Homo-oligomer: A and B are copies of this chain.
Amino acid sequence: MKSDLASQREPLSTCPAGRAGGTFFVTRDEPLGRRQRFAARMHVFSEGDPAQRIYEVVEGRVMLYKLLPDGRRQIVELVDAGGVFGISTLPIYDGFAEALTACRVVSYDRSAAGQSIELWRRLTARVQVQFCALHAHAVVLGRKSATERMASFVMQCIPGRGGYDCPGPRGTDNSARIRLCMTRQEIADYLCLTIETVSRTLTALRRRGVVSIEKPEQLCVKDVCRVCRLTGDR
């Protein structure tokens, strides 16, 4: 249960808004929100930065993580399109936000966001969705075996399936291709395992014919419902 050093893959440093240092820059200011793009592996903010803005993901995936002083890392949340991040009770951010994929976000000044009722409603409604997801993730971290965790994670990567209102297989096609867009280390830090256990667990799932590993970051799930049953949730 000891140290998991933060990913060896060095994250890119934040690109200051407006400075077109490459592929990412502020594209346009909106009345309230400011559009920004981030390349994969770029930091949106870091622990200790002044918590001035709230972010909404338009496209792509962002991870939020925290570090312990000795280097152990926990990815506390994965934020997909529609999700919100940058919520902080303190005057500074209490963790890091890093783009997992190239992504587009809109950010709002914290105080300004509270002015617009419309905007505030949208953001808070979304926070509630994520709040419930965090509760569910606590169960994953707290009470599930390595296999159940991997299965839960895989299900999370298949939009529209596995939820309360899962429609079941579309016709006879019960397969899914998924891009993990995370390294083994990141999956480990999200599921609270080690990189080796993630690798072994995936291999075991492959051997059992549950998934095929097309590329390290791309899986094909043969039978979604079977994975769903492996989550331990039902």
Which residues of A does B touch, CB under 8 Å?
1-2, 4, 64, 66, 68-70, 72-74, 76-77, 87-90, 94-95, 114, 117, 120-121, 124, 127-132, 134-139, 141-146, 164, 189, 192, 232-234
Contact = CB atoms under 8 A, between A and B. Distances in A.
Contacts of A234: 69
Q: Is the interface of A mostly helix, strand, loop or mixed?
A: mixed
Contacts of A145: 1-2
A136 B88 CA distance: 12
Given A142-B141, A145-B1, A135 B77 contact: yes
Contact of A72 (B4, B66, B114, B143): B143
Contacts of A94: 132, 135-136, 164
Contacts of A66: 135-136, 138-139
A4 B143 contact: yes
Contacts of A117: 117
A233 B67 CA distance: 9
A64 B135 contact: yes
B87 A143 contact: no
Contacts of A68: 139, 143-144, 232-233
Contacts of A127: 124, 127-128, 131
A203 to B, nearest CB: 19
Given A69-B233, A73-B143, A130-B131, 14 more contacts: A2-B145, A66-B136, A68-B139, A68-B232, A68-B233, A69-B234, A74-B139, A87-B131, A87-B132, A88-B132, A94-B164, A124-B124, A137-B138, A142-B189
